[in-house]
Structure 1
Amino acid sequence: MTVRTIPKLGFGTYGRTGPEGISALLAALEIGYRHLDTAQDYGNESEVGAAVARSGLARDDVFVTTKIAPRHYAKGNLLPSLHESLDRLGLEQVDLTLLHWPSPNGEIELGDYVEQIAEAKQSGLSRLIGVSNFTIDLLQQTMAIVGEDAIATNQFELNPHMQNKRLADFCQANGILVTCYLPIAHGTLGDDPVLQRIAAAHGATIAQVALAFELAKGYAAIPTSSKVERIRENFASQSIVLSPTDIRDIESVDQGRRRIDPAWGPDWD
């Protein structure tokens, strides 16, 4: 199997560092995940590369995403930083490279770093490119610079309590895959009675229901865990079929509760 499109259920690698991190990554690959999502700021690209190398899987069978840290956005800096990421990963090319955040406080002009990530694709360093934490306005500006079809995905916080509907709808209307980070909200959904009821009806965990909801909406999701049983449970969410009523009920529990909101971040939609 050769992975050419972005697998809808990936394994987030934030916090997966050192030998224990590699063990978790290897477990995820053994269980069946075929998308590993890392970032320069996670400090674990070497671990991700080691897991891919040790997994026994062919390179084309594992979709690898990394993200460029904003400190590398200045003109002439982004591509050298991606070369360094590739060295740490032990890869000649990543499948997807994202701009991790808009430049903090708009310190660097959007065009300066958007044009550089477009060059990463043109030069073959990355097969696909995308963004993370971009608002509708920033997406529109980016599409005007690189073209409407250039952005493969926008990765942002999305889970049943933070559904980001306006941004998600805009992405889907423009052919940009929504990738959910914090898809199970750090495991804080457990007290929600609606999710409890739906989980009980399906003999599932609340985390599984959250992931099944995101997948049913056509999104991608990148949960993570250091525990093999949780990694396996999350992967099994793909077998849960929610009814239209389930989906409507989950849509009703949106609280707009954002957990990642740095002072230097964008003006959210």
Structure 2
Amino acid sequence: MAYSHHFWSSIKNVAVERMVQEALRCSSVVSILDTDVEEQIFSPEFAEQLKNIKLPATRLELLVKMLRKTIREYKNTNKVAAEKYEELLRKTLEAYHERKEALSAEEASATQSEAVSAIIDEATRQAMDLLRQLGEDKESSRGLGLTFEEKAFYDILIYLRDKYNYVYGEDKCVGSLIINDKCRALAKKIKELIDVQSSFTDWLNNQKFRADLNKKIYFCLRTEGYPPEYNKEVFDQVMEQVEHFKTYAGD
């Protein structure tokens, strides 16, 4: 009795799915999924845990899940920085899927298997590099002389300056860090204003307190000459980061 290609593909898919499910039950995977992202995901021990997972596709899938998890948590405090890593991860996965789809159906199975393995290995290497960059980014507040929360405002100030192409302060490169003293000082002032307003309860739902903080931040930005020429979009995006910070990380 002849079986169709679709039949054998279905059998193969079921077998692969069973292997993946079995792998997901192994202690290494469970241990990693339970990892406290803020404390452990950037450690050498996390990389060692990943190595214990024998199936390359499962290792990559798990790494992507953990990256998405830590980016999502980072976004609660620092929206603009997290969005940069979201985009880098999206491009990495897009390239991975494009390379897999480009494999010719005419290739011999052994050759195709080797090609798939190479594609998975490359995507895993890129994802690990992205994880390293994200860890360095989160730690960079120390090198900037800022708290983790102040860095969120420093990042939005640098991002908007570059987006709208205006000059504000002078950048100094210290290793991989870009240090701008004017943006650093302004980020601290914005955070100070928020801290004062935080002493009032139910800040987000109180229009009077919100309007008062908006006014204070507006005058702070104008006094500090940020941006050099008034730009409502810049002010609105700074305030968007302020409200995002208060919503997710300011409690």
* TM bucket normalised to smaller: under 0.3
More strand by share: 1
TM-score for both structures, normalised by structure 2:
0.23
TM-score for both structures, normalised by structure 1:
0.22
More helix by share: 2
Between Structure 1 and Structure 2, whose CA radius of gyration is higher? 2
